[in-house]
Structure 1
Amino acid sequence: MLTNMFKEENLIKYKSVVEKITNKIKNHDGLIRIITHNDADGLTSGAIIIKLLTRQNKKFHLSIVEQLSEDFINELGKENTINNIISKNESKGSDDHNNSNSVLYIFSDMGSGQINKILENNLNSIILDHHPTEINDIEIENILQLNPHIFKIDGSNEISASGVCYLVAREFGYYDLSVLAITGAIGDMQHLPFIGLNKFILNEGMEKQHINGILRDIIYNCYDISITDSILFSFNPYIKELKKREQIINLLNKYNIDPNKIYLDGEDKKNLEKALSSINPNYINELYVDRYIINHNEKDGHYLMELLNACGKNGNAQLGICTALGDENCIKEAKKLNYEYKLNIVEALNKLKLNHKDNFDYFFGEKGTTGLLAGLLAKDRPIMGINKDENYYKISSRGNHNLVSNGLNLTEVMKLTELFGGSGGGHSVASGGKIPIESLEEFLDWADDLIGEQLKNNM
């Protein structure tokens, strides 16, 4: 039961905010502005809200952003001021106090770290987020906030933003949206294994027969492409010895596996285990995964997550939303885009040059690839991937759960960008931000000192 996920004092608070959010949506007759993130978790979050609002016959407008910046929130504030003026003028002499010009803002996969700026702009808002909170309460003036951290639940591994959005959707009886919540959680690497509220959502999706099963299988069978391409494009496991097509084909032929085969079973799986063990026995530990078979036009949750991630990282988040919503033509286009994206990643990996500080490594890359590359390379040390964007450098910092257990907190590290006129935040294991170009070197020095302080007592 969901109630078992909360301690008694937090359960009362949770029920209160979910009821208020549900009523706020039901009773709102004007436009609803959805603001969501462009990664897989953000896109599934946005898709859940779209499905909910469509079924409730609500008017909505969607914006997908890479970062909820101060400038963007200020633009929303200006828009809101104009709408309020129109609303007041139209309501003069009318008994209708809930007219169509009022706007409700729903922030998904963002907002909890920007509440003060949202308050400054007087935005009537609902925040559905799983990042650390700026204000740890469910109701702040005209803002309702549903965030696991308020209830002493870890938003970095127990529930993602799409799961938070699902907690609202299930209040309307939309249990089928559990498939998107699970896909978003996979995108945020919260499936190894599913625990806490993620596990509850998974179980509820299976109970309601929207998630059809869990299949223990090799990771390469998640994707409807040849085993050669699956290995070439797979970054979990990341096999650095197999990042050229001819290397893969030679290895597969050596172990009697057809390089063009799309699905491996039986003897082929055993032969693949032998092939990978011949390179490094540790690769076998990452070869098998739980595949989540979902009621969606893309049946595999892993593959759907990959498609959404590729869309978001390549500046085509609209395609990602349509893919999440199940449009078959969009899914086909997303598969093409994902193929090209993975080719670019492989090429970038082969070109990448690491720079070293005392306590972390960093590299310069291209927009849309730095976060993934940093995640692949974050083994014994934290990694930062940096790309230039006009007058700023954007930074994706990545660690792993072992580093976090030893004190690493990349949220704190990326918050240092604010000292230099930038912005940043995220999770302890993965965080991002931006910083003025001229301040990068000084920021890297400060980050090096802070990471050293975080890890010195545990490493």
Structure 2
Amino acid sequence: MTGPVPELAERATACAEHLRDRDRVLLASHIDADGLTSAAIAATALERAAIPFEAVFEKQLDEAAIDDIAATEYDTVLFTDFGSGQLETIGNHEDAGAFTPVVADHHQPADRDTEYHLNPLLFGIDGASELSGAGASYVLARALADVTDAPTDGVAADGGTATARADNRDLAALAVVGAVGDMQASGGELHGANEGIVAEGVEAGVLETGTDLALYGKQTRPLPKFLEYATDVRIPGISGDQGGALRFLDDLDLELKTDGEWRCWAELTAEEKRTVASALVKRAVSRGVPAPKIDRLVGTSYVLCEEPVGTELRDASEFSTLLNATARYERADVGLSVCLGDRDEALDRARTLLRNHRRNLSEGIDLVTEEGVTHEEHVQWFHAGDRIRETIVGIVAGMAMGNDGVSRSKPIIAFAEKSAERDAANPSGDAAGEEGGGADVAEEVKVSARGTHGLVREGLDLSVVMGEASRAVGGDGGGHDVAAGATVPAGREAEFVERADEIVGEQLS
């Protein structure tokens, strides 16, 4: 099997063959949208290959978490969406005979390697923009189907559904959700190795793509809110202006309500969409929005065509936000269940968590905007203390960029107090293990950093910034060029900012 990413095919096959011969596997994954989709893809592939497994989730794969994993009775551990950056610690346990690791990740690898390590960065593919953790997990799933006789329970007259399940191509939809959730749709569309996965998803009948407005909420937000909250490209008189959005829509010669209720973008006809989009572009031009920003109003849509119209699950971006609203509130089990097809209790719970998540994000953005950020020469930063959860402070920081006093021309660094527990959870929602080893989390601070793809094109690499600056003050960190994180000792934030500012200055000089 060549697979969707030919460069990874040989390594993926080696990893799959090792998993195939195991009596059981421990699946460990990260908690964000990319991590949850990675876990769901791996879990489905293992189940179809008749390989027993248990899943655990960690918001941070630190030394204590790895120690807990090593203390289990599993001989093989499959790490998805993390593990590459922690291979030194993982390797120590491997050398001691605790377990054999299989890693499907896309983050910057540590200096040490291991035999079953599937990471695009090892093969010249950018893990920050061309293949996500879910993408790596998908490549592994495709290989696992190839080396096993995975049964199918899908039946189609033309064999399409059954074939897509047999070779795991139907899991491409989740891989796209993970990539979109990992901010890889730069310029409004997915690039590189992700394109091969998209193509397989379309071929399998689980994805549809097309040119559309690149605004969030096409499936679920009523049209006025859809336009009012679309702030990535700010259009004066509409963005952030409830009355302005209503007046804009009222001035159009269209019937945009059903039984007195505003319709959603996904419910409009193609002709209605063209009319609204054309008027939106004209308004942007008339209000002096620069042409490059206007171009960003249009992008590629990724639609999960087997999901109902008007639900969060049909749009890759909205699906990823729903998932973020589960595990970031210690309910990774809920997000995993939704990914695995639970459309009843788990989906209801996820939607409740999403409403809470949106409220917390809104309050966090308001806090940052009202209190402002501190500007250094090359970075800007704020310290939320315990007023913003550590699991969402990075999202808040990214969404606040462009607000009054928060620049998009320099990366933003956000600090938040770490919770008293590691908040690891298994699919039943129980604690995965007691805190043990490592530093006392009560004496640590979470750091999240966000940039823009424009800054990355100029040379910004926040993975390097977070890694070097955190280690300079006795912490550790990493991530991607456009988004990264770290943990540092409490009280050393000022030193961290000073070093980060120096590194960013060097990168952008």
Query: The TM-score by the shorter chain falls in which range?
Result: 0.7 to 0.9
Question: For residue 309 of structure 1, what is the aligned residue in structure 2?
Answer: 324
Question: For residue 418 of structure 1, what is the aligned residue in structure 2?
Answer: 471
Question: For residue 17 of structure 2, what is the aligned residue in structure 1?
Answer: 23
Q: Which runs of 5+ in 2 are unaligned?
A: 146-166, 308-312, 402-406, 419-441
**What is the SS of the residue equivalent to 1:441?**
helix
Q: 2:69 aligns with which of 76, 80, 88?
A: 76
Q: Distance in 2 between matches of 1:159 and 1:56?
A: 24
Deviations 1:390-424 (A, max 9, x none): 32221111112322232222112111212323220
Q: 2:81 aligns with which of 109, 115, 121?
A: 109
Alignment of 1:304-383 (within 5 A): 304-329=319-344, 330-352=346-368, 353-365=372-384, 366-367=388-389, 368-376=391-399, 377=401, 379-383=408-412
Alignment coverage as a number of residue pairs: 424
Question: For residue 60 of structure 2, what is the aligned residue in structure 1?
Answer: 67
Q: 1:180 aligns with which of 174, 182, 187?
A: 174
**Structure 2 letter corresponding to 1:243:** G
The alpha carbon displacement at 1:381 in A equals: 0.5
Q: Distance in 1 between matches of 2:169 and 2:253?
A: 45
Q: Distance in 2 between matches of 1:76 and 1:245?
A: 50
1:2 and 1:200 in contact (8 A); partners too = no
2:91 and 2:112 in contact (8 A); partners too = no
Q: Distance in 2 between matches of 1:28 and 1:217?
A: 46
Alpha carbons of structure 1 residues 274 and 364: separation in structure 2 relative to 1, 3 Å: farther
Alignment of 1:48-59 (within 5 A): 48-59=41-52
1:220 and 1:227 in contact (8 A); partners too = no
Q: 1:156 aligns with which of 128, 139, 162?
A: 128
Please tell me whether residue 243 in structure 1 is matched to residue 240 in structure 2. Answer: yes
Query: Does 426-435 or 268-277 show the bigger shift?
Result: 268-277
Question: For residue 404 of structure 1, what is the aligned residue in structure 2?
Answer: 456
Deviations 1:331-360 (A, max 9, x none): 343334323322332333233121111210
Question: For residue 292 of structure 1, what is the aligned residue in structure 2?
Answer: 302
Query: Does 45-54 or 336-345 show the bigger shift?
Result: 336-345
Q: Distance in 2 between matches of 1:291 and 1:240?
A: 25
Question: For residue 94 of structure 1, what is the aligned residue in structure 2?
Answer: none
Alpha carbons of structure 1 residues 249 and 339: separation in structure 2 relative to 1, 3 Å: farther
The alpha carbon displacement at 1:441 in A equals: 1.2
Alpha carbons of structure 1 residues 47 and 121: separation in structure 2 relative to 1, 3 Å: same
The alpha carbon displacement at 1:238 in A equals: 5.9
The alpha carbon displacement at 1:119 in A equals: 1.2
Please tell me whether residue 170 in structure 1 is matched to residue 146 in structure 2. Answer: no
Q: Distance in 1 between matches of 2:241 and 2:65?
A: 42
The alpha carbon displacement at 1:434 in A equals: 1.1
Q: Distance in 2 between matches of 1:279 and 1:346?
A: 27
Q: Distance in 1 between matches of 2:16 and 2:457?
A: 37
Please tell me whether residue 224 in structure 1 is matched to residue 220 in structure 2. Answer: yes
**What is the SS of the residue equivalent to 2:180?**
helix
Richer in helix (by share): 1
The alpha carbon displacement at 1:255 in A equals: 5.5
**What is the SS of the residue equivalent to 1:413?**
helix
The alpha carbon displacement at 1:183 in A equals: 1.0
Q: Distance in 1 between matches of 2:394 and 2:235?
A: 18
Q: Distance in 2 between matches of 1:168 and 1:219?
A: 32
2:216 and 2:317 in contact (8 A); partners too = no
Alpha carbons of structure 1 residues 20 and 2: separation in structure 2 relative to 1, 3 Å: closer
**Structure 2 letter corresponding to 1:64:** F
Alpha carbons of structure 1 residues 286 and 191: separation in structure 2 relative to 1, 3 Å: same
Deviations 1:144-178 (A, max 9, x none): 10001111111111111111111111120111111
Alignment of 1:127-166 (within 5 A): 127-135=103-111, 137=113, 140=114, 143-166=115-138
**What is the SS of the residue equivalent to 1:381?**
coil
Deviations 1:123-154 (A, max 9, x none): 311000111111475xx2xx510001111111
Q: Distance in 2 between matches of 1:239 and 1:35?
A: 43
1:158 and 1:198 in contact (8 A); partners too = yes
**What is the SS of the residue equivalent to 2:106?**
coil
1:5 and 1:197 in contact (8 A); partners too = yes
**What is the SS of the residue equivalent to 1:216?**
strand
Question: For residue 98 of structure 1, what is the aligned residue in structure 2?
Answer: none
Deviations 1:283-337 (A, max 9, x none): 5333323221224432222221221122233333222212222221233433343
1:255 and 1:275 in contact (8 A); partners too = no
2:4 and 2:193 in contact (8 A); partners too = no
The alpha carbon displacement at 1:251 in A equals: 4.9
Query: Does 269-278 or 190-199 show the bigger shift?
Result: 269-278
**Structure 2 letter corresponding to 1:345:** L
Alpha carbons of structure 1 residues 240 and 39: separation in structure 2 relative to 1, 3 Å: farther
**What is the SS of the residue equivalent to 1:166?**
helix
The alpha carbon displacement at 1:364 in A equals: 2.7
Q: Distance in 2 between matches of 1:402 and 1:270?
A: 26
**What is the SS of the residue equivalent to 2:381?**
strand
**What is the SS of the residue equivalent to 1:121?**
helix
Query: Does 391-400 or 208-217 show the bigger shift?
Result: 208-217
The alpha carbon displacement at 1:66 in A equals: 1.5
**What is the SS of the residue equivalent to 1:17?**
helix
Question: For residue 40 of structure 2, what is the aligned residue in structure 1?
Answer: 47
**What is the SS of the residue equivalent to 1:347?**
helix
The alpha carbon displacement at 1:24 in A equals: 1.3
TM-score with structure 1 setting the length: 0.84
Q: Which runs of 5+ in 1 are unaligned?
A: 84-101
The alpha carbon displacement at 1:71 in A equals: 1.4
**What is the SS of the residue equivalent to 2:491?**
helix
1:126 and 1:145 in contact (8 A); partners too = yes
Please tell me whether residue 393 in structure 1 is matched to residue 445 in structure 2. Answer: yes
The alpha carbon displacement at 1:256 in A equals: 6.8
**What is the SS of the residue equivalent to 2:492?**
helix
Query: Does 263-272 or 380-389 show the bigger shift?
Result: 263-272
Alpha carbons of structure 1 residues 63 and 159: separation in structure 2 relative to 1, 3 Å: same
Deviations 1:32-70 (A, max 9, x none): 211111111111101101111121222222122211111
Deviations 1:93-142 (A, max 9, x none): xxxxxxxxx431111111111101001122311000111111475xx2xx
